Each structure stands twice: as structure tokens, then as C-alpha cells.
Structure 1
Amino acid sequence: MKRKRKNIVDDAEFSGFHARLTVYSSGGPFLDGYILSIIAIALIQIRPQLHLNTTWSGLIGASALIGIFIGGFMGYVTDKFGRQLMYTIDFIVLIVASILQVWVQTGWELFIIRLILGISVGADYPIATSLLAEFSPKKQRGLMLGVTLIAYYIGSTVAYIVGQVMLNIGPNAWRWILASSAIPAVILVLLRMGTPESPRWLLQKGRKTEAEKVLKQVYGPTASLQDIVMPDGSTGKTSYFTLFMPGYLKRTLYVGLFYMAAVAPLFAMLTFGPEMLASYHLFEGASGYGAAIISALFLIGCIPALFLVNRMGRRMLIIVSFTGMTVGVLILGLFPHGPLAMIFVGFVLYAIFSGGPNVMEWLAPNELFPTEVRGTAVGITTCISRFGAVIGTYLFPWGLENFGIGPTMLVAAAVTFGGLIVCVLLAPETTNKTLNAASQPESVSRRKSPAP
């Protein structure tokens, strides 16, 4: 019997190239966490100086999220024109916008600049995660894409600490606090230079010679185009309509809705972490450090999920995770004035169990859609999620002011429970499948299944 040829891309050993690409691709999530969290500290000084009311505080807190919603549509651009080119351009825009925050004088100016920051971050999600997924070996794909989410919480934690320390500079410290995001962005632009284009994307565009050159550069002289044969059912055409066609519509709804249910309460908590902790009378006078601790708990929750995503399986992991998250936030809503230990348990449960959805947020869309619409899928599902996150972040301070922390967190519990229902009804299983197999629509998979 003829021995099946080992696929050099899917079965590759984890290499230095994979490690570097994982770090570089994690830059967008790191800056996302940093930018969305640093505003929470800066608002302490911004509110009185720019005379912001609750409405404007909510708008500025949500501005970067609105930008991420818009930037998600750039997934279509990266599918049309390539991953590598946009991989650097988006961060250059982010650097300029970060620095411009030093000179803002009104709420409107700050809103617009942070909108641009969000667009840059949102554009990076489909660019970087698609590139990473298309180079990942199947056994390490969950780990590599999951690490990018850990970078988000590292960025968030660092932002709270940096912001709290920099507040001591003076009454205008907030300008330099906001501009500080330019520093990691500059470092990442320099690191990303020279990253190769995705050979899957090149092949899908008919650029076979370039694709084979990249394969040999990364995997060695024995690599060939046979290692990235396009999956059955692949059209080669980039179109938004593909995401809503039979076979993919269910996947689009699943990723978009569970993503939205996961981040809507989460981003509101991170953006207004100090106000939320003050409502629970925790870390008064040093709420930035308290928010950093909460963010660090979310980071810790991602670590076991990275290793369970293959052992437990994608579907079971996300269902169990949403169950634990719902219980945690429900405790925070039912016992707003309860014992400190009870409140801490609620935070810990929500943060630790958030690890499952966090790991799946970029793993799922990159696995469930083919190369020609992979970036588009990441972008569109990010847009769906950020729509909920914008609403949650905008309404969170309003809810605290008008209803208090208890009812506000009960609403968050209802949203999280909705995510659990979505996962039970729609979550597929793609554990241990190659990227080609995982991205095939159900109709193609059924046609290929042998008759009983």
C-alpha cells in the first residue's frame, strides 16, 4: 500500500518562525487591550478638564470599539490584496493617531482620534490572525491563535499599571498616558518588517511561483504546492455573500453571536473598571491597580483554555466556559453589597471561565472559513461582536448611574446566558482537523462522506 505523503505545512514541527509570527501577530490584540483599558485611567483627569458628562464619557469609552467595528470590514481588503502589505500599514496609522492625542482640546477631537485608533486595531485582527492561521501546524493552531488573546490581557494589565503610575505626573498626565500606545506600536512595526506573504493566499490568487518560494523559504526545499492544496468547495472568489450562503450562514451566526455575548459585558468592565470597582467599594484610591488585578485574572483564565482546546474539544470547551461565566456574573448581580469574598468569587469565576471564549474568538472564524474569505469572516464576526460591545460600553456608565451595579450586572448575566444558548445550538467541532477540512462547508463534507 502506498504510504500517504506527510503534509509539511499541516504536520510541521513548531519552529522559530512560528514563534516569531505568533509574537508579531499578537501585537494587534496587545494594543487593543492597551488602548481600550488606558482610557479608563485617563478619563479620571479627562472628565473635569474637558467637562464631559455621562453621555460623552460613554462615547469616548466606546469610540475605539466603534472604530474596531469599522476596521473589521478591512478583512475584505486583506482577502483581496493580501495579508503582508496591510500587516504594517495599519500600525503606522495607529502610531500617528496615538501621538495626536497629546493635542486634543475637546471631547469631539478625542472621540474622532480614538475612532481612528480603533479602525487600525480592527483592521489588524483579520490581517494578523489570517496570516497566523495559514502558517500554523494543525496541532499548534489552537495554541498559536489562543496566545494572541493572552496578549490582549497583557496589554490591558500593563495599561492599567502604566496609567496609574503616570497619573502622578500632573494634571495633564492623561495626554501622555493616551499617547503611550505609540511606543509598543513602533516596536511592532519594526519587528513585522520582512514577514512573508501567506502562501495559501498567493496560491488562491494564482501566484504559484511566489507561493512555492515562500513555502521553501519557511519549510525547506522539500516543501511544494501539494502541501497547500485548496479545499473542496473553494471558489477562489472573495465575497461577503459567501458568509451567508448555505453551509456558512450557521457558522457566521455562531461566531458572531457568541463573540458578541462574550465581549459586550467584558469590554464594558475593562473600559470602566475603576468605576465598577468603586461601586463595589474595592481598591478605593487605587482603582487602576485593582483593574489591573481583574485584567490579570482574565489573562490567567486563558492559560488552561489554551491546553484544553484540543483535549476537551472546541465545542465542549466553549459550552462549559459560558456556563461558568454566567454563574460568575450572576453572583456579581445578585450580591452587589455582599461579603467581599462573595464578590471576589464572582469576579474570579467570570474571569477564569472567560478563557474558553477568549481562545475561540479568533480560532473559530479562522478555522471555519476558507482562504478566500478567511479575513472577511474574521472582520465581519469582529464587527458583529463590537456592535454589542459598543452598546454595552456606552450603556454601562449610564446603568451604573441610574440603576446601580446590581441590576447592571444582571443584564450582563442575561447577555452571557444568551451566548451559552448560541453555543449549545450552533457550535461545531473542528478539533484535530486540518485547516482545509475544518473550513469546508457542511454541504461539501456530507457529499464527501462515504455511503453507509
Structure 2
Amino acid sequence: MTSNAARAVSPPSANPSDTTERERLTAFHLRVTATTFGANFSDGYALGIIGAVLPVLGTTMHLSGLWQGLLGASALIGLFFGSILLGRVADAIGRQKLYLYNFALIAVASAAQFWAHTPLILFLLRLVIGFGLGADYAVGPTLLSEFAPQRLRGVLLGSLTVLWTVGYVLANILGTYIPITDNAAHWLLASGALPALLVLVLRIGIPESPSWLATRGRAAEAAEIRRTHLGQTTATAEEAEAAAAEQPPTAGYRELFAHGQATKTWFGVIFYSAQVLPYFAIYTFMAQILSTLHVSDANTQNLVLNLALLLGGIIGLWPVQRMGRRPFTIWTFAILAVCLGAMALLNSASGWALMVPFIVYTFVMAGASNITQVYPPELFPTSLRGSGVGFLNGTSRVASAIGTFVLPVSLDQIGVGWSMGWMAAVLLLGTLVSLAWAPETRNTLTAEDWHH
């Protein structure tokens, strides 16, 4: 990225009424937010439901440990390729097309899981689902960040993870309290098509990002979208697009590692990966972990943990908005590392004693995860945002897939104590990298952001 694109600038002079107008929350903002919420709900549900049905499928499909690991990681592998490949496409051709058509792909592949009675077919379908969701991880937060008022960007983007958690928790509760047979397992897998279809319908008619249009020299179209959908005056819309048009129209992946941008990119990769690796590993194999902890009433504890996950996500929205990105990230990493470290040291204690740090970890991790939707779009300018967000999501999914594949082997070979220990070390790495590199982006307005 060029230094001009990376450098934060002050906005052109504007009167207070213009600023108020740019900060107004409209019905259109709520619609874009709702459809992006729906995408994150679908993702959480898709990733949660496979963990819920794997114990049954392991028996009915005669799955080896290898196949269980592959099916658990399948959507995450697809997420990697979708994020990496289609994030760059979003910067090249625009956000809107991918924002619409990826959910047609997700809906079809989700429904087809009903007829997937071999591990290979199910694995391939979940790769496709993950590929479509990966596109949305690159495009959804990018488009929302480019439409959202700057003062509300943190809470709106952070809320995406809350909806992911709602989908994930719902999948876990269904898997816990519905008697799961082979037929019921396939119905649950296919039920992911319902929220995907709803998201697809609601996205019809959402326009292209005006910031992206302006970087392509289409300022008149961008200004018209601002007038029609955001309720801005002609003067305000044209002023905003003139600023956005100063950004370079295209940028390659190499610009993610150019002078002035490379540290932010590497921070994003390590921070995101360190957070989600233990998250996905632990919650995909929650039943096995609870069994290893010798908890007498695993269903009740599973419900308690899922409620802690949901409450943590909701309550965690406040500090994301109020504390700033840097301190929030550092403190949550540190608390999470301490919790898993405590589980490692207390591995020979009773199940209930181990549940205390586990519940605290779950609560804090849910809140900490909100930042993964806020930080990435703020680390990159318009010309790199789709590529950058896609790259961070893709690399984090590699970490997620590795953790999901390795944890069941780790639990079997070295036990719960050492397994919690190496995951605590991953979180400690995230703490140290955040201390060294985490930027504060809450109030930083780049050339293409100030007009929101």
C-alpha cells in the first residue's frame, strides 16, 4: 500500500450539520446490518451443528478419528479459500455481487447435506458452505464498515459476532436436547438452508458500496446511492465521494505488506489466529472435553457454558465500543491465557473446580470475539479492505482448522491438562503481539472513512 493510502488524514472542513448528517443511522443501515447479522448467524449455526451431530455420525458413518477431524474442520477449510480468493475479487469487481450470490451457494449446499450419507460427500458440501461463508467474511464486514456511521461502526461490527454466537449456541442446544438419530442429524445439517434463504432474500436490492464506486471513478453513482439510501444532501454526498476518490482504485496482495501497512497486517493475522484457534477447537469438541473433565451432568454444564457464551457476547459489546480496540484486545487475551493456564495446572482437580475457569474463559472469549469483526476492516483503506479482511479471515481459518484437527488427538494422547496448556501458550502469544503491535483504530479516520 502506498503511504498516502495508509496515512490518516483530517477531514476537509465541514459544518456541524454535515457531520450530524454523516453520523445519522438510517433504516438502510439497519437493513444492511440485519443481513450481515443473518450471515454471521448462519455461520455460527453451520459450525455449531457439525459438532452437535458428529457423535452420532461417527457411529452411523463409521467415522475414523481422521474423518471426524476432517468433518469438524471442513467448513473452516472452505472459509480459508473463500476469504483469501474472494476478498481480492471484492476489491476488483465490487462488494455487492458477492454479497448476494454467495448465499445462493450456501443455501443450496446446506440443503443438500440432507442427502449426504458418506463422509466424502458431506465433507465436500461443507467445503462449499465454508467457501461461501468465507466470501461473506471478506465482503460482509467490509460493506457494513463502508456504509455504517463512524460513531456506531464498533458496536455494529461487534454485534456480528453476537449473532454468530446466537447461531452457534442454538445449534448446540438443539444438539443437546433433541434425540439425535442418523435421520435427525441430516435434518439438522440441512436446516442451515433456512436462515441462508432468508438472508438471500433480504439482500436483494442492496446497492454497491459508494466508497468502492468512488475509487473506480464512478463518483456520480456513489453520490446517488448516498442521497437515495443514506439520506444525505447532494453537497455532502459529493464531498464524501471526492475524498474517497483520492484513494487508489486497485491494490494487490503485495500492498498488504508494503511499508506503513505490513505491521498492521501481521498484527491482524496473529491476533485473529491466536484468538480463534482455541475457540473453534474447544467448542467443536465440547462434549469430549466435558467427558474428559468427568463432569457428572454434562448436559447441564454444556447449557451453562453456552449461556455464558451468549451473555459474554452481548455484554462484551460495551467495552469494544468504550474501551478502545487496543486495551480491549490486550486485556481479554491476558484473561483468556490465565483461564486456560489455570485449567492446565488444575487438570487433576475435580470436574467442578475445572469448570470455574472454563466458564470464565467462555464468557470472556465470547466478548473478546466481538473485536474480530471490528478490527480487520479498520486496519485497511478502501482499496485494500476486501483483500485485507479476506486475508485475515482466511489465515485465521487455517489456525482454526489446525486447532480443530489437532485437539481431539491432543486430548487422546497427552490429556486435557497439556492440551489446555498449549492453547494457553497460543493466547499468551496473542497477548505479547498485541502489546507490541496493536494500533488504536477507534477514533482514527482515514481518507475514505471520515465521511461516514
Is the TM value for this pair above 0.5? yes
Report deviation, 1:292.
4.6
| Residue 159 (structure 1) aligned with residue 175 (structure 2) | no
What one-letter code is carried by the residue in structure 2 that aligns with 1:85? Answer: K
Quote the residue 2:70 is aligned against: 59
2-structure distance, mates of 1:348, 1:164: 18
| Residue 423 (structure 1) aligned with residue 434 (structure 2) | yes
Quote the residue 1:326 is aligned against: 337
Quote the residue 2:146 is aligned against: 134
Mind listing any 5+ residue stretches in structure 2 that lack a counterpart? 1-11
Residues 264, 392 of structure 1: 8 Å contact kept? yes
2-structure distance, mates of 1:305, 1:140: 15
Q: Aligned pair in 2 of structure 1 residues 348, 9: CA closer, same or farther (>3 Å)? A: farther
Match of 1:277 among 290, 299, 303: 290
Quote the residue 1:378 is aligned against: 389
Structure 1 vs Structure 2 CA RMSD: 2.2
Match of 1:77 among 69, 89, 97: 89
Structure 2 residue matching 1:236: 3-state secondary structure: coil
Residues 219, 242 of structure 2: 8 Å contact kept? no
Report deviation, 1:436.
3.2
Q: Aligned pair in 2 of structure 1 residues 239, 211: CA closer, same or farther (>3 Å)? A: same
What one-letter code is carried by the residue in structure 2 that aligns with 1:95? Answer: A
| Residue 180 (structure 1) aligned with residue 180 (structure 2) | no
> Per chain length, whose mean CA-contact separation is higher, i.e. which structure has more relative contact order (CA < 8 Å, sep 6+)?
2
Report deviation, 1:280.
1.4
Quote the residue 2:135 is aligned against: 123
Report deviation, 1:87.
1.1
Mind listing any 5+ residue stretches in structure 1 that lack a counterpart? 440-452
Report deviation, 1:59.
0.9
In terms of mean alpha carbon deviation, does 216-225 or 406-415 score higher?
A: 216-225
Residues 367, 438 of structure 1: 8 Å contact kept? no
Q: Aligned pair in 2 of structure 1 residues 50, 280: CA closer, same or farther (>3 Å)? A: same
Residues 247, 447 of structure 2: 8 Å contact kept? no
1-structure distance, mates of 2:288, 2:144: 36
Residues 216, 224 of structure 1: 8 Å contact kept? yes
Quote the residue 2:108 is aligned against: 96
| Residue 37 (structure 1) aligned with residue 48 (structure 2) | yes
Residues 247, 448 of structure 2: 8 Å contact kept? no
Residues 57, 182 of structure 2: 8 Å contact kept? no
Quote the residue 1:227 is aligned against: 240
What one-letter code is carried by the residue in structure 1 that aligns with 2:373? Answer: W
Match of 1:359 among 359, 370, 381: 370
- Which portions of structure 1, spanning 4 or more consecutive aligned residues, are displaced by more than 6 angstroms? none
In terms of mean alpha carbon deviation, does 348-357 or 384-393 score higher?
A: 348-357
1-structure distance, mates of 2:146, 2:443: 15
Quote the residue 1:388 is aligned against: 399
Residues 86, 127 of structure 1: 8 Å contact kept? yes
Quote the residue 2:262 is aligned against: 249
| Residue 344 (structure 1) aligned with residue 355 (structure 2) | yes
What one-letter code is carried by the residue in structure 1 that aligns with 2:420? Answer: M
Q: Deviations for 1:115-144, whole angstroms, at most 9, x for unmatched residues?
A: 111111111011111110001111101000
Structure 1 residue matching 2:151: 3-state secondary structure: coil
What one-letter code is carried by the residue in structure 2 that aligns with 1:250? Answer: T
What one-letter code is carried by the residue in structure 2 that aligns with 1:122? Answer: G
Tell me the TM-score normalised to structure 1 length.
0.91
Structure 2 residue matching 1:354: 3-state secondary structure: helix
Quote the residue 1:443 is aligned against: none
Report deviation, 1:283.
6.2
Q: Aligned pair in 2 of structure 1 residues 284, 313: CA closer, same or farther (>3 Å)? A: same
Residues 308, 363 of structure 2: 8 Å contact kept? yes
Residues 69, 382 of structure 1: 8 Å contact kept? yes
Residues 332, 347 of structure 1: 8 Å contact kept? yes
Report deviation, 1:325.
0.6
Q: Deviations for 1:385-440, whole angstroms, at most 9, x for unmatched residues?
A: 1111111000111111111111111111011111101100110112223353779x
Q: Deviations for 1:178-229, whole angstroms, at most 9, x for unmatched residues?
A: 1110011111111111212111011111112210110001232514221244
Quote the residue 1:5 is aligned against: 15
Q: Aligned pair in 2 of structure 1 residues 307, 232: CA closer, same or farther (>3 Å)? A: farther
Report deviation, 1:79.
1.2
Report deviation, 1:23.
1.5
2-structure distance, mates of 1:340, 1:258: 31
1-structure distance, mates of 2:241, 2:158: 23
2-structure distance, mates of 1:122, 1:292: 28
1-structure distance, mates of 2:218, 2:382: 14
What one-letter code is carried by the residue in structure 2 that aligns with 1:67? Answer: G
Residues 99, 179 of structure 1: 8 Å contact kept? yes
Report deviation, 1:344.
2.5
1-structure distance, mates of 2:353, 2:39: 35
Q: Aligned pair in 2 of structure 1 residues 389, 50: CA closer, same or farther (>3 Å)? A: same
Residues 323, 420 of structure 1: 8 Å contact kept? yes
Residues 268, 392 of structure 1: 8 Å contact kept? yes
2-structure distance, mates of 1:301, 1:209: 43
What one-letter code is carried by the residue in structure 2 that aligns with 1:374? Answer: R
Q: Aligned pair in 2 of structure 1 residues 366, 174: CA closer, same or farther (>3 Å)? A: same
Structure 2 residue matching 1:67: 3-state secondary structure: helix
